[in-house]
Chain A
Amino acid sequence: MTVRVQEAPFDMGAEVAAFSAAQAGMGAIVTFSGIVRDLPGGGLEAMEIEHYPGMTESALEKIAEEARRRFELGDALVIHRHGRLAPGALIMMVATAAPHRAAAFAGAEFLMDYLKSRAPFWKREITAEGARWVEAREADEEALSRW
């Protein structure tokens, strides 16, 4: 299990290659990446991501450990950035490894559902008109009930 919280960009291809190379005995790797979505019609200058240093890492580690236990994952990787990001920039990624694909897919979905509403990150959209905190969606909270 690896969890990284960082301001710096990361190379998704290199991360997936390194993660995959370490999965002897696994047959399936699922990866997901989240990028900064522009506003409908454009106009987003940047996305600022605030977090709670210390708690962020421990919350992500707990979520990753729970995913490993539930889905019997061989390994999981979570990278999440903070700071000011441009539209289209990579915000985060998860990778899961399991013997077969069903567990790898389910583990990645579980990680994403929990990470969205249980890891202490807050997004703020910056436009020419000003800044606006992104509000949590009810659907994100409801997504947790299926687990």
Chain B
Amino acid sequence: MDVLYFAWVRERIGLPRERVESEAATVRDLVGELSAREERYALAFSDLEALRVAVDQELSDFDAPLAGVREVAFFPPMTGG
């Protein structure tokens, strides 16, 4: 699946998007896999309360299942308007 990062999450991880091969069942499992990879991921995901997630471009939550999902995005709370 494609994993996208926005705003300070993008800056902390150091890239806007990447292709991730994962068997993670939920968003939370994916976060665990990414955090285990490298310090910069662990740092970006250290406080999930401060993060929001979209699954296939719909706002979702960390318990959302990932079966069949094409795109997951992580970002801070939105500040539009």
Contacts and interface: CB of A to CB of B under 8 A. Distances in A.
B62 interface: no
B75 A91 contact: no
B77 A52 contact: no
B81 A52 contact: no
Interface residues of A, number: 26
Contact of B7 (A50, A54, A58, A141): A50
Interface string B69-81: 0000101111111
Contact of A116 (B6, B8, B57, B79): B79
A80 B7 contact: no
B7 A122 contact: yes
B6 A120 contact: yes
A122 B75 CA distance: 9
Interface string A61-77: 00000000000000000
Nearest to A141: B77
Interface of B: 4, 6-8, 54, 57-59, 73, 75-81
Interface of A: 34, 50, 52, 54-55, 58-59, 80, 91-92, 112, 115-124, 133-136, 141
Given A52-B4, A116-B81, A119-B78, 11 more contacts: A50-B6, A52-B6, A55-B58, A55-B73, A59-B59, A91-B81, A121-B78, A121-B80, A123-B79, A124-B7, A136-B78
